[in-house]
């Protein structure tokens, strides 16, 4: 029977060492050290499957937003290729610990192609382990990034009048998000609406994004000439990199090129606050938003499958 236990102090931050893969080993150490320093995880949240030599043969690390005590996701999941039961046991143990800590669901993302910091090799095998352990796919997404090097960014869309959270307060944002979620191509957001209702889903989206570091002046609604909100812009910073936390166009104003305008606006806000690289995600099915990222100078550098397990 596989022994799943908390990683010992001398096993952190290395966890599973992959012979002949120095880049991957170094990325794991750097990534986990950063998670521990930022409070995204804790030593007692780092689980390992003990191999025959007593050293970690597999790993699973719980993750949350800094300042929170309830895990939201699972990172650094590794399992021996010849032991699928070990992988499932790790996922089950992580889910059980997350449940004890108050979580009601646990998420995991699978990026391809494999890349730093997690280097998720063998995506098909990983997906099979996740499904076996009760994780379901909640979004098939695309990942975008833009690297900034001091270039002049395009001017804001003159058709939009931007007003910040610091000026107008929270409720207009919830109203705009409610309008937007009534007709969205994002599978994850659609599921939230089905599970919670339209207004609660809008509040949930606002609060989840608010868990990322931001200033009230960064978050804005862009109003069209008729005085109604056309776009929502929620740029932020996660512990690793500045992100387009959320952007969207309300249904009444779609088809006017505002999606690219709001991505550019979020980009300008983050760049003005020191960002040199910015990332953003969208659902693969949200063709308009993917086009907007590309129009705003972003490259699609990866795909991302998002999974969730109810607890």
Which residue from 185, 190, 226 is spatially nearest to 205, judged by alpha carbons?
190
- Please give the pLDDT value at position 1: 65
pLDDT digits (tens, 9 = 90+) for 218-245: 999 999 999 999 999 999 999 889 999 9
- What are the residue boundaries of the structural domains of the chain, listed by start? 3-134, 161-301
Q: How much is the average pLDDT of 69-94?
A: 95
Backbone angles phi, psi at 35, to 5 degrees: -65, -40
Q: Do domains 3-134 and 161-301 have the same CATH topology?
A: yes
Fold for 161-301, please state it: Aminopeptidase (3.40.630)
pLDDT at 88: 96
pLDDT surpasses 90 at 54: no
Domain 3-134 class in CATH: alpha beta
Mean pLDDT is lowest, of 74-78, 115-119, 156-160, for 115-119
**pLDDT score of 300 more than 90:** yes
CA distances from 2 to 45, 52, 56 (A): 18, 9, 11
Q: Tell me the pLDDT of the chain averaged across its residues.
A: 95
Q: Which pLDDT band holds residue 121 (cuts at 50, 70, 90)?
A: confident
In three-state secondary structure terms, 173 is helix
Cα 309 to Cα 4, 74, 87, 165: the distances in Å are 19, 11, 15, 33
**Model confidence pLDDT, tens digit, residues 33-43:** 999 999 999 99
**Rounded average pLDDT over 183-200:** 96
CA-CA distance, 25 to 23, in Å (whole number)? 6
Alpha carbons 252 and 56: distance in angstroms, whole number: 54
């Amino acid at each position: 029977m596989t022994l799943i236990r908390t990683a010992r102090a001398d096993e952190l931050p290395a966890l599973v060492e992959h012979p002949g893969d120095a880049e991957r080993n170094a990325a794991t150490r750097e990534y986990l050290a950063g998670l521990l320093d930022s409070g995204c995880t804790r030593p007692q949240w780092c689980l390992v499957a003990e191999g025959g030599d007593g050293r970690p043969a597999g790993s699973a690390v719980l993750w949350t937003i800094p300042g929170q005590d309830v895990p939201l996701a699972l990172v650094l999941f590794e399992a021996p290729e010849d032991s699928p039961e070990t992988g499932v046991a790790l996922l089950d143990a992580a889910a059980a610990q997350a449940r004890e800590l108050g979580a009601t669901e646990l998420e995991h993302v699978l990026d391809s192609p494999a890349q730093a910091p997690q280097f998720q090799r063998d995506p098909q095998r990983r997906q099979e382990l996740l499904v076996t352990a009760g994780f379901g796919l909640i979004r098939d997404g695309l990942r975008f990034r833009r690297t900034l090097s001091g270039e002049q960014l395009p001017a804001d869309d003159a058709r939009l009048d931007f007003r910040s959270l610091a000026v107008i307060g929270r409720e207009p944002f919830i109203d705009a998000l409610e309008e937007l979620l009534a007709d969205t191509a994002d599978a994850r957001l659609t599921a939230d609406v089905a599970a919670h209702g339209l207004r609660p889903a809008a509040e949930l989206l606002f609060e989840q994004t608010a868990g990322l570091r931001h200033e009230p002046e960064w978050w804005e609604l862009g109003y069209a000439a008729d005085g109604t909100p056309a776009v929502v812009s929620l740029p932020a910073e996660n512990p690793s990199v500045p992100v387009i936390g959320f952007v969207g166009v309300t249904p009444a104003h779609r088809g006017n090129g505002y999606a690219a305008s709001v991505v550019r606006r979020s980009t300008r806000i983050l760049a003005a606050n020191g960002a040199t690289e910015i990332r953003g995600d969208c659902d693969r099915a949200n063709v308009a938003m993917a086009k907007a990222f590309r129009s705003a100078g972003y490259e699609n550098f990866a795909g991302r499958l998002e999974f969730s397990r109810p607890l």
